[in-house]
Amino acid sequence: MAQIRIRNTNERIENEADVKAFLDQQEVLYEHWDMSKLPAELHDKFVLSDDEKQQVLNTFDSEIKDLASRRGYQIWDLITLSDATPNLDDLLQKFEAVHTHSEDEIRAITAGKGIFIIKGAGDTGYFDVELEAGDVISVPESKPHFFTLMENRKIVAVRLFIEKEGWVASPYDDPEFVKA
């Protein structure tokens, strides 16, 4: 279940209904997939063969198709990040820059953890959304954000795209953003 931290006030939102209400207010899609569908050996595995990646995608085929039909995604894939990923530290350093996209950024976490840092509407300022397996989140197009790993430094996630070629990050230079 996702948890929120509002950076300006250090307020945490941990109750499921409150998390959902907060994210609704910020126009951030937040849903769940049932992780009990995933074979046990894939719950805590972060280096996956192509067959295992396909197995994860097949397991959640109906959830993926449902999102695609509701929201127009055309293609999807599975990403894995862990200490086995070459140059993980360099990658994480690159991740930590606020940016926007011309389409939404949707991730469904199937193992591990991750965190989206998102610029809230109005006076909210930046907030963190801490995600774990089963959480599905979509940051709307043009909303400043970045994604990074949490202290366990590992994640497996499904990504869906409307146009993979069109999905580029535009830097968003924001004096209001302060690194945590």
For the annotated binding site for Ni(2+), the residues are 99, 101, 105, 145
As measured in angstroms, the least distance from the Cβ of 139 to Fe ion is 7
Nearer to Fe ion, 14 or 96 (CB): 96
As measured in angstroms, the least distance from the Cβ of 111 to Fe ion is 20
Q: How far apart are CA 149 and CA 161, in angstroms?
A: 21
Q: Does 104 sit near Fe ion (CB under 5 A)?
A: no
Which residues fall within 8 angstroms of residue 50, CB to CB, at 6 or more apart? none
Q: Which window, 1-9, 36-44, 87-95, 102-110, contacts Fe ion (CB under 5 A)? A: 102-110
Q: Does 103 sit near Fe ion (CB under 5 A)?
A: no
From start to end of 8-125, where are the E strands?
11-13, 29-32, 75-81, 99-100, 105-119
**Contact in structure between 4 and 19 (CB atoms under 8 Å):** yes
Q: Which window, 88-96, 101-109, 128-136, 170-178, contacts Fe ion (CB under 5 A)? A: 101-109
Which residues fall within 8 angstroms of residue 8, CB to CB, at 6 or more apart? 124, 125, 126
DSSP class of residue 169?
P
Nearer to Fe ion, 82 or 100 (CB): 100
In the list 103, 104, 105, 128, the residue contacting Fe ion (rule: CB under 5 A) is 105
Positions touching Fe ion (CB under 5 A) are: 105
